[in-house]
């Protein structure tokens, strides 16, 4: 993902090399944040905040190998805080036109790529009833395709806890599919 | 797999394929760098000094502890110095009674010194008379006042022959009485 030397340079306070890190890690940080929050602007803010935290704490990374997990943890924690703060009050419902476009996309074979806006609509609809923890586990496991070991090291939860939350998240999402799709 | 499961898998497939697209990565990069530079500038020289002093410590919490301990020591030292200064000032303002016999000072005081010597019959030099400087000054003052009153009395007696004669007679009688004893 990133050269070992670049991270070592950043740890020594080299800000120019940090630019390379920003360019390299921003896309996947945005991917995680956007899938969790379903809001492009909020996800961009989370990316910026996470990068600043990364610079502030980069000295504390125990090993360069654990950089990715460590940075994921920063992003996930910030998303988690954001989700807890902004609890959605009203039920999320897409309008008729958006819904028909989405239905077409879902039924297409092979599956077509969605725009950010469409992805946000689907994620917000399906994960509406999930708790922040369930949402984190679902995004990391089913969308980012991480193993339960990786999720466990990022979130700090036990593997059993990860699996339990994932089970409830999937069950909840199935309920939403039954209800809306 | 039931239809609900198929739809779930299809949605997941679509969402996985639709990687959220981060646009304007340059803006994020610039914002992050600007904020980091601002933070670095805010940290100022104090932290640089501590970094310079404790750069030999690599363990984060040990370095923090040392910085905290050094700040505490500096505060304690400052407090102690302030207390010492306060006490010294208090002592310099306090009146000291010097238990000594040597009188030094102006010509006027030297005259007093000679008088003291006369009154104590020269014993003031060999430390047989133990009086303080304040007591000595009071004594000299009393002697001077007594001398003035004596001079006035003698003048009155000299001016009045009858009174002089009466006093002479009384003194003679008194002396005669003493001889009888």
Q: Before A110, cis peptide (omega within 30)?
A: yes
Q: What are the pLDDT digits (tens) for B4-34?
A: 777 888 888 888 888 888 888 889 999 999 9
Q: Predicted confidence band at B77 (pLDDT cuts at 50, 70, 90)?
A: very high
* CA B4 to each of CA A179, A181, B1, B34: distance values in angstroms, whole numbers, following the listed order: 11, 9, 8, 49
pLDDT at residue A47 is higher than 60:
yes
Q: How far is B53 from chain A (nearest CA, A)?
A: 17
Count contacts between A and B (CB, < 8 Å).
98
Partner B contacted by A122 (CB < 8 A): yes
Whole-prediction pTM: 0.59
pLDDT at residue B1 is higher than 70:
no
Q: What are the pLDDT digits (tens) for A158-167?
A: 999 999 999 9
Q: What are the pLDDT digits (tens) for A50-87?
A: 999 998 888 877 777 788 888 999 999 999 899 888 86
Query: Are A36 and A83 contacting, i.e. CB atoms less than 8 angstroms apart?
Result: yes
For residue B28, give the nearest of A47, A60, A112 by CB distance.
A47
For residue A30, give the nearest of B4, B22, B32 by CB distance.
B22
Helix (H) or strand (E) holding B177: helix B161-180
Please enumerate in sequence order all residues whose Cβ is within 8 A of that of B60, keeping only pairs 6 or more positions apart, or say none. Answer: A59, A60
Partner A contacted by B36 (CB < 8 A): yes
Q: How far is A27 from chain B (nearest CA, A)?
A: 6
Q: Do A106 and B31 touch (CB under 8 A)?
A: no
| Residue boundaries of the structural domains of chain B | 59-90, 95-180
Give CA–CA dist B112/B64, Å, rounded.
69
- DSSP notation for B13-43: HHHHHSPPP---HHHHHHHHHHHHHHHHHHH
Q: Do A26 and B29 touch (CB under 8 A)?
A: yes
Task: Provide the 10 A C-beta neighbour count for residue B175.
Answer: 10
Question: In this predicted structure, what is the pLDDT of residue A53?
Answer: 92
Query: Residue A111 has what DSSP assignment?
Result: P
Collapsing DSSP to helix, strand or coil, A115 comes out as: coil
Task: Tell whether the torsion through CA atoms of B118, B120, B121 and B123 is positive or negative.
Answer: negative
Give CA–CA dist A55/B36, Å, rounded.
8
Question: In this predicted structure, what is the pLDDT of residue B181?
Answer: 44
- The residue whose two tokens read 């910026």 is A48
Report the half-sphere exposure of B144 (CA within 13 A, side-chain side). Answer: 13
Give CA–CA dist A134/A157, Å, rounded.
12
Which of chain B's residues have a Cβ under 8 Å away from the Cβ of A40? 20
**Among the listed residues B128, B171, B153, B155, the one whose alpha carbon sits nearest the alpha carbon of residue B119:** B128
Question: In this predicted structure, what is the pLDDT of residue B173?
Answer: 83
Which of chain A's residues have a Cβ under 8 Å away from the Cβ of B33? 15, 18-19, 22
Give CA–CA dist B60/B104, Å, rounded.
66
For residue A106, give the nearest of B5, B14, B19 by CB distance.
B14
């Amino acid at each position: 993902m990133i050269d070992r030397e670049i991270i070592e340079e950043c740890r020594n306070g080299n800000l120019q090399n940090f630019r390379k890190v920003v360019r390299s890690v921003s896309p996947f940080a945005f991917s995680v944040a956007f899938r969790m929050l379903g809001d492009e602007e909020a996800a961009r803010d989370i990316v910026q905040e996470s990068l600043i935290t990364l610079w502030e704490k980069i000295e504390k990374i125990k090993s360069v190998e654990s950089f990715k997990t460590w940075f994921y943890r920063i992003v996930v924690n910030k998303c988690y805080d954001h989700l807890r703060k902004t609890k959605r009050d009203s039920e999320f419902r897409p309008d008729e036109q958006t819904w028909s476009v989405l239905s077409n996309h879902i039924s297409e074979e092979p599956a077509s790529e969605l725009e950010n806006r469409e992805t946000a609509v689907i994620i917000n609809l399906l994960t509406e009833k999930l708790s922040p923890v369930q949402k984190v586990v679902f995004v990391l496991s089913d969308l980012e395709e991480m193993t339960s070991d990786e999720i466990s090291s990022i979130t700090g939860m036990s593997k059993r806890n990860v699996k339990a939350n994932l089970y409830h998240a999937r069950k909840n999402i199935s309920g939403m599919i039954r209800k809306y799709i | 797999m039931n239809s609900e499961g198929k739809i779930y898998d299809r949605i997941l497939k679509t969402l996985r394929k639709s990687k959220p697209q981060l646009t304007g990565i340059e803006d994020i990069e610039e914002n992050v760098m600007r904020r980091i530079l601002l933070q670095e500038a805010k940290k100022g020289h104090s932290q640089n000094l501590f970094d310079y002093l404790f750069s030999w410590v690599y363990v984060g919490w040990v370095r923090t502890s040392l910085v905290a301990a050094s700040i505490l020591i500096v505060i304690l030292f400052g407090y102690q110095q302030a207390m010492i200064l306060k006490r010294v000032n208090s002592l310099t303002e306090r009146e000291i009674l010097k238990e000594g016999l040597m009188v030094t000072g102006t010509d006027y005081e030297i005259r007093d010194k000679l008088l003291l010597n006369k009154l104590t019959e020269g014993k003031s030099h060999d430390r047989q008379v133990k009086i303080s400087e304040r007591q000595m000054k009071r004594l000299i003052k009393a002697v001077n006042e007594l001398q003035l009153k004596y001079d006035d009395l003698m003048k009155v007696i000299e001016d009045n022959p009858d009174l002089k004669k009466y006093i002479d007679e009384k003194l003679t009688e008194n002396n005669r009485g003493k001889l009888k004893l």
